[in-house]
Structure 1
Amino acid sequence: MKNSEIKFLVDLDEKSLPKNIQWDASDKEGEGLESTKSISLNIWDNLNHSTLRIDLWTEEMSVVEMKRFYIDILGGMAQTILNSTGDEYMAEEMKDLCDRLVKHVNEENKKG
């Protein structure tokens, strides 16, 4: 059996807020740590039948980038639910939500 490792390193400021986030994975294309502005990790807790979440972002992450990040996450989740369960209705509803959110963010950006 093959093992794969994913690693996150988070530098915190004096208030324990993320100042710098780096990640590495044994199966990624490039070698070594790469910087990022945000991570969102979800873990299924088998014992309690609930989802554990870790959401971190640096102060460099703009509001527009954060909104785009979460729209992309939702779109990826739509594809994952389709691939893993075959539930086309749920996947399409999630994609429709992403479309509405993109429209919302685009309209917001035009005003600002």
Structure 2
Amino acid sequence: MKTAEIKLVVTLDDQNVPENITWESTDGESSEALAAKALFLALWDPHYKNSMRIDLWTKDMPIDEMKRFFYETLQTLGDTFLRASGDDEMAKAVIGDLRDYCDHFAEKMEVTQTK
């Protein structure tokens, strides 16, 4: 059996606001920690049947990058759900609705979409 470890390091200022976020993985291509400006971490708690989340961003994260981060996260959540559901027909239909919302979000937030 193989195991992998993901390490997140958050440097806080004196007000506990994130200044720097770095991450590294034992399965990663890089042997050094990589910088990040924001993270959304969601874990499923099987005992309580709910999600546990950590949402962090550095104080110098520009709002235009945060909008793009939200947009891309919503898009990839749809991709993940499709893979997890085994391409279930109902999931495909719902993901279509999510894609429509992502287009709407991108337009309202003036996020440049790349196709």
Superposition TM-score, scaled by structure 2 size: 0.88
Q: Distance in 2 between matches of 1:100 and 1:29?
A: 35
Aligned partner letter, 2:100: D
Provide the identity percentage. 33
RMSD over aligned Cα, in angstroms? 1.4
Which of residues 74, 82, 104 is equivalent to 2:108? 104
2:100 & 2:27 partners in 1: Cα distance? 32
Report what 1:62 is aligned to: 62
CA contact (8 A) 1:42 1:54 kept: yes
**Would you say 1:24 and 2:19 are equivalent positions?**
no
Number of the residue aligned with 1:43:
43
Letter in 2 for 1:40: F
TM-score (ref. length: structure 1): 0.90
- The answer for the alignment partner of 1:53 in structure 2 is 53
What 5-or-longer segments of structure 2 have no aligned partner?
none
Higher helix share: 1
CA distance in 2, matches of 1:61, 1:53: 19
- Point out 4+ residue stretches in structure 1 off by more than 2 angstroms: none
The 2-side partners of 1:66 and 1:106 are apart by 12
Q: Which sections of structure 1, spanning at least 5 residues, go unmatched?
A: none
